[in-house]
Amino acid sequence: MKSVQRCRDWLAKTLPTLPDDPTHPAQVALRTYALALSFSLGPALVPFVASVASTRKSPMARWSVLRRVLKRELGYDGFAASMTMSVAGGAILRALWCLLVEDTHGRENNQPNLDDPAHGRLEEVRSWLRSLDLTPTQVSFVCNIIPSTIGVLLLQKGAKKSSKRSGKGKPSPTLDFTLLLVIRALDSLVQSLILRRTRPSLLETTQNAAELEPMLLVREKLEREETRRVNKTRQRMAEKVDAFLFWACSSRIMWCWFYEPYRLPQSYVKWITAVSNLDERIPEVLRLVRTGEWSYLKGSLNHSDLLHDAAKSFGLPASWGDPTVLPAYGGAIANETWKQIGVTSRPGVGGLPCEMVHGRVGKRLGLQSSCHANATLRFFRAFAQAFLIYGPVHLVPVLLTRPRTLLRPAQLVATAAGALRSTAFLASFISLYYYTVCLTRTLVLARLLPFVSHDFWDGPYGCALAGSLTCGASIWIENGRRRGEMALYVLPRALRTCLPGWMVRSRGWKGRLVERIAFIVSMSTLLTSAVHRPDSLRGLSRWGLAFIMNGPNAGFWKRKRRDPSIPLTPSTAPTPYEIKDFIKDQEGETIHQG
């Protein structure tokens, strides 16, 4: 035991001690590296875990995978190191800037030697920095530029090494992350403008609230209440704007998933495909209808048998997927064709039978031909799948931060209601798309306009477009505050679908240059907002940057052990209103005790 104690004492004397200030660059660097490493290393270890569970790979092959992952993620050009350079580098430069600009001539026992050449150069630098006359916000932005530049160069270098097998036309491996930063930075600027317009004319904070005249106190209270009222109004407007953005972005994403999936990240395409539960041959036919290679009017020279196997796998005749047999228009001619091939679910309309679109959904219940049953069954199936996603999303944060609140029935009900609400949102998104498709090509529009060819109804501006335009309306089911986070989630993907090819490809120098500039400006904007306007950040960016820049009670635990009465360290800087409230509370308590 003595040897262990001596070892601990030696480590305590030898290893450097982190400062208690949670905003110190050393603490910022440590938190940034830890958080970034958890985001990158966790998903990267999935192949290794899968190889351990599999018996096909030898132990040497498994350890080879592990070494490769660790070398990539723990290297100087890995994601964690790049983010630490971008974030902590700005904190270091900002601290150095403050030390250089600050006047030290009047300090005791620190009189400079005026004959020292180094002191003269230092004074020149200090004078030049002062001559710039930058505001604290501008200083932070400038200090974040250089580290962000180094960070993006390291990030792209590491991504290039890990994706050597990528072809010349492959998308940039860092593009999705850059677009995420761009959208979050733009949102921060927009929120700053909104908050600036709703900010009242504040009175200067004084050390003694008793110095303020009673009328000024009343005026300040009224201004504060007016600000809360205006902010609530603007919050409701912002929720409507967020809902509109989600609707527009989800419409674009779903349309691209059908017709231009190469514009979306491959992982996102796979996720939508898995959730949609749609036979992959149906989207392929829709793309051929768009190009005219698969037509009810002209047939298909090279792809007429594309849906034959799909029809057989659904337990249907092969002729139900043959464009040379299916009627192009509705009416009496279509009814005659349906009578010949045995279709009973499409009187008066032409095109592909809905049983082909529904797939196997409802087959066991004998409801394969019902559009209403198809939408309902898909809703419940999607609800069960979505709950596995949103249940932990709502429950885990509460378990990690305040688990005792779940013992309260009201909190437990609120958490469960939030999870069910989010689950209903995603389930409605999927079922609404399918139901709109059936309403367009079978139940309503195609029946009202039988003279319009199904080359249109099943084309890019028919049922697929109608479904894309309506499914995003399910966002109104979601909680108002979560609509913003959902909009920020889909915005980068929708923005990517609008970029030209030269900006997406990783091998073009113009695309890399634009991406680097976007990364640098966006990262600098976000880090500056995290220091000076944390209230302009929302969702994950606000939580993540608050943790990085201020820490979860960073520097508090040591003092807490010495004095349990010390309150928690706030995650964001207090506002002038909060400072005034604190002063008033303290003075009121002192008067009461006196």
* Mean of pLDDT over the chain: 81
Between residues 278 and 578, which one has the greater pLDDT?
278
Q: Which of 295, 312, 313, 272 is nearest to 352 (CA)?
A: 295
Q: Over 90: is that where the pLDDT of 7 sits? A: no
**Distance of alpha carbon 298 from alpha carbon 294, whole angstroms:** 8
Q: Which two tokens stand for residue 172?
A: 């940039």
CA dist 433 and 430 (Å) reads 5
Q: Which helix (H) or strand (E) holds 17?
A: none
Confidence (pLDDT) at 177: 93
Distance CA(31)–CA(88), nearest Å, equals 9
Note every long-range contact of 318-325, with CB atoms under 8 Å and residues 24 or more positions apart, other chains counting. 320/352, 320/353, 320/355, 320/356, 321/352, 321/356, 323/294, 323/295, 323/296, 323/299, 324/299, 324/300
Q: What is the pLDDT of residues 397-440, one digit of tens each?
A: 788 777 888 888 888 888 899 999 999 999 999 999 999 999 99
Which of the listed ranges 63-67, 131-135, 375-379 does the model predict with the highest average pLDDT? 375-379
Q: Taking each helix axis from N to C terminus, what angle separates 371-401 and 409-438, rounded to the nearest 10 degrees?
A: 150
**According to the model, what pLDDT value does residue 3 have?**
65
pLDDT tops 50 at residue 582: no
Length of the chain: 594
pLDDT of residue 91: 92
In this prediction, residue 525 has a pLDDT band, given cuts at 50, 70 and 90, of very high
Domain ranges of the chain: 1-19+553-594, 23-199+508-550
Of 225-229, 344-348, 413-417, 553-557, the range with the lowest mean pLDDT is: 553-557
Angle at 219 between CA 216 and CA 223, to 5 degrees: 135
Is residue 297 exposed (0-12), middle (13-18) or buried (19+ Cβ within 10 Å)? Answer: exposed
Q: Is the pLDDT of residue 591 over 50?
A: no
Indicate the pLDDT class of residue 112, thresholds 50, 70 and 90. low
Q: Residue 406: its pLDDT value, please?
A: 80
Q: Which two tokens stand for residue 28?
A: 């910022």
pLDDT of residue 4: 60
For tokens 């905003």, what's the residue? 23
Q: What local confidence, expressed as pLDDT, does residue 505 receive?
A: 78
Q: Which position has the higher pLDDT, 217 or 365?
A: 365
Which stretch of 6-20, 132-146, 216-230, 338-352 has the lowest confidence by average pLDDT?
Answer: 6-20
pLDDT of amino acid 554:
40
Q: What does the alpha-carbon distance between residue 216 and residue 253 come to, in Å, rounded to a whole number?
A: 53
Check whether 56 has a pLDDT greater than 80: no
Please give the backbone phi and psi of residue 264, each rounded to the nearest 5 degrees, phi first.
-105, 155
C-alpha span between 438 and 442 (Å, rounded): 5
Phi first, then psi: give them for residue 230, nearest 5 degrees. Answer: -65, -40
- Report angle CA 411, 416, 418 to the nearest 5 degrees: 95
If one counts every other C-beta atom within 10 angstroms of the C-beta of residue 59, the result is: 9
* pLDDT value of residue 433: 96
Q: Quick check: helix, strand or coil at residue 134?
A: coil
**What is the rounded average pLDDT of the residues 363-369?**
90
Question: Is the pLDDT reported for residue 103 higher than 80?
Answer: no
pTM of the model as a whole: 0.80
In sequence order, what DSSP letters do the residues of 202-264 get, joined into one string?
PPPP-S-GGGS-HHHHHHHHHHHHHHHHHHHHHHHHHHHHHHHHHHHHHHHHHHHHHH-GGGS
**Is the model's pLDDT at 571 over the cut of 60?**
no
* Alpha carbons 535 and 195: distance in angstroms, whole number: 8
Cα–Cα separations (whole angstroms), residue 168 to 152, 160, 476, 500, 582: 21, 12, 42, 16, 60
- Looking at residue 106, its pLDDT comes to 43
Can you tell me the distance from the alpha carbon of 279 to that of 357, in angstroms, rounded to the nearest whole number?
Answer: 8
**What are the DSSP calls for 410-427, one per residue?**
HHHHHHHHHHHHHHHHHH
Q: Is the pLDDT of residue 115 over 50?
A: yes
Q: How confident is the model over 256-312, as pLDDT tens digits?
A: 999 999 999 988 899 999 888 898 999 999 999 999 999 999 988 888 888 998 898
Q: How confident is the model at residue 454 (pLDDT cuts 50, 70, 90)?
A: very high
DSSP reduced 3-state for 124: helix
